[in-house]
Amino acid sequence: MNEQEFIAKVTEALDEGAGRLTSPTVEALRAGRRRALAGRRQRDAGGAHAWVAVLGWAHHHSRMFWLLLLLAVLLGMVGYQMLNDQDASDLDIQLLTDDLPPQAYLHGDMGSWLNAREQ
Amino acid sequence: MAQRTRAIILFGLLALAQPALAAEPYVFRFWSELTAEQQKALAPVAEDWNNFPPRQQTRLLKVARSYGKLSATQQQRMQARLRAWVQMTPEQRLLARRNYQKLIELPAQKQVQVKQRWAHIQSEGAPEPEPPETP
């Protein structure tokens, strides 16, 4: 038996099986399918509802919302500066322990030496 | 639904403020509050320590944290340079960092050339720029 014949036999068996299902079983399967589709539609709409609710809250508590947003942005800016500082500390360690003293990097000619790529 | 809304708003605001939560806080510490290791690493600035703002203290403490991992030569260099470093203005430190960053991004050969130029200037006796007086 080749593949095509095997598929044809399985399909035939399934069709026969489906034909023998009793009416209550068919109805139960149909109800189950309806419930599954309804659940899927609800989940899809859930994300959109959440955003509508957030916008609704922001609209009704606009002063509080803007205050909280401002506070969060300020905290974010301060935090960003603090994280930058921590990165700069790593650079400070390298700078303080490298061959040249830190004052070398303030020398008037240093900028031109560093920018003169082609020499 | 109201609870879910509040949770989403809270989550959004926390996400915006996240860098502040992740960063190490600036805290003022007296010299006497530092550990023996921190005091050893920062000994050159002991006299001025209590006058430093929390932000500068926090940065120096981070530098001190790496002190134990440095070689003996690097430790010596760091201590010899620390005092002049803290006496620079914030703008001078920023310029030094920027120029150092540019230097380390250059190819190795170019880095050597810059260092040789500096060494040449030093050997000619040109005065090194003085750090400013502490305000």
- pLDDT tens per residue, range B11-66: 777 777 666 666 667 889 999 999 999 999 999 999 999 999 998 898 899 889 99
User: What is the ipTM metric for this complex?
Assistant: 0.73
Q: What would the pLDDT profile of B75-102 be if each residue is shown by its tens digit?
A: 999 999 999 999 999 899 999 999 999 9
Nearest residue on chain A to B62, alpha-carbon basis: A89
Q: Which residue range is the domain that position A99 belongs to?
A: 64-119
- Contacts of residue B22 in chain A, CB cutoff 8 Å? 79, 83
Of A54, A90, A101, the CB nearest to B81: A101
Under a CB-based contact definition with an 8 Å cutoff, are residues A50 and B12 in contact? no
A7 and A55 belong to one structural domain: yes
A95 and A43 belong to one structural domain: no
Gap from B21 CA to chain A (nearest CA, Å): 7
Test A50 with B5 for CB contact under 8 angstroms. Answer: yes
A53 and A76 belong to one structural domain: no
For residues A34-59, b (16+ Cβ closer than 10 Å) or e, as one string? eeeeeeeeeeeeeeeeeeebbeebbe
Q: Which of A17, A35, A60 is the last residue of a domain?
A: A60
A39 and A81 belong to one structural domain: no
pLDDT at B7 over 90: no
Q: What value does the mean pLDDT take over residues B124-131? A: 59
A76 and A54 belong to one structural domain: no
Q: Which of A37, A60, A83 is the last residue of a domain?
A: A60
- Contacts of residue A92 in chain B, CB cutoff 8 Å? 59, 62-63, 85, 97
* Most A-contacting residue of B3, B16, B57, B111 (CB-CB within 10 A), to test interface: B16
How many other β-carbons are positioned within 10 Å of the β-carbon of residue A108? 7
What pLDDT score does A113 carry?
Answer: 86
Interface of A with B in 90-109 (CB under 8 A): 90-109
Q: How many domains does chain A have?
A: 2
A56 and A72 belong to one structural domain: no
- Contacts of residue B19 in chain A, CB cutoff 8 Å? 75-76, 78-80, 82-83
> pTM for this structure?
0.56
Of A76, A98, A103, the CB nearest to B84: A103
What pLDDT score does B126 carry?
Answer: 56
pLDDT band at B112 (very low <50, low <70, confident <90, very high): very high
Amino acid at A72: A
Amino acid at B10: L
Listed as ranges, residues in chain A with pLDDT below 50 are 118-119
A74 and A29 belong to one structural domain: no
| CA–CA gap between residue B63 and residue B27 (Å, rounded) | 15
The DSSP secondary-structure symbol of B134 reads: P
Q: Is A103 helix (H, G, I), strand (E, B) or coil?
A: helix
Q: What value does the mean pLDDT take over residues B67-82? A: 93
- DSSP for B94-120, written as a single string: HHHHHHHHHHHHS-HHHHHHHHHHHHH
Test B5 with A88 for CB contact under 8 angstroms. Answer: no
Q: Which of A60, A86, A103 is the last residue of a domain?
A: A60
